[in-house]
Amino acid sequence: MRVELLGTSGFHPTEKRHTSCVLLPEQGIVFDAGTGMFRLTSRLRSKSVAIFLSHSHLDHIIGLTYLLPPLCDGTIERATIYGSARSIGAVRDHLFAEEVFPVPLPFEFVEVTAPVDVPGGGRLMHRVQEHPGGSFGYRIDWPGKSFAYVTDTTADGTGLDFIRGVDLLIHECNFPDDMRDLAVRTGHSHTTPVCELARDAGVKRLVLTHFDPYAALDDPVDVRKARSIFPATEVAEDKMVVEF
């Protein structure tokens, strides 16, 4: 299994990072549509793409508008957007309102209310998470492999069973520990609880992402601290490829 991190920042892009976008190229699956979405077309191996939104905050949906050229020239023939009813409504009614974006795009919209079968014999499940406006965490189980994508929520331990034992967990870590109060106030995670969650859930590997754009560019969340709790921790970089 292959995962490509197309955007790893929260809130807004930085000189080094675009906002959240994660590609599973072999399956034609994308999680979130931040500004990193501009990197999708050259990396996509299929004519169709399934985009699963964690939620509809701007840093996770703005990149949907970037699909105008590939959808018009036929590079992408079919794009389906999956998410909560609220997220789909926000995208359809606000992001693609004529006052915000000039051209309607031929997306299909699917509200996620139950497990979804995905390419490769996989089964995708979602979990409702705490975050302003709500968010979804996602997990896919294929025969012999598993993956979870959890962003825009606090690592309060309530999602432990959902991610239990996955081969690869991509989890947001918007803040280092010394910004705990801001993490709680904004519905985000900080270093120690994320790494404890990965350890307690028995995941194999942890990739941290969705970093505060005002954090240190080279070490946004204190990777030494993170690895002291969960050694198999990596810090996501844009264009990073993870094989698992």
Q: Name the residues that contact Zn ion, by CB under 5 A.
A: 10, 57, 59, 152
Q: Select the residue whose beta carbon is closest to Zn ion and give its number.
A: 57
| 3-state SS track over 82-135 | EECHHHHHHHHHHHCCCCCCCCCCCCEEEECCCCEEECCCEEEEEEEECCCCCE
- Minimum CB distance to Zn ion smaller for 57 or for 126: 57
- Minimum CB distance to Zn ion smaller for 146 or for 151: 151
Min dist. Cβ of residue 152 to Zn ion (A): 4
- Minimum CB distance to Zn ion smaller for 153 or for 192: 153
Min dist. Cβ of residue 86 to Zn ion (A): 12
- Minimum CB distance to Zn ion smaller for 27 or for 54: 54
User: Is there a contact between 54 and 135 (Cβ–Cβ < 8 Å)?
Assistant: yes
Min dist. Cβ of residue 133 to Zn ion (A): 7
Min dist. Cβ of residue 103 to Zn ion (A): 25
**Count, residues in the chain:** 244
Buried b (16+ CB within 10 A) or exposed e, 85-104: eebbebbeeebbeeeeeeee
Tokens of 130: 């705490």
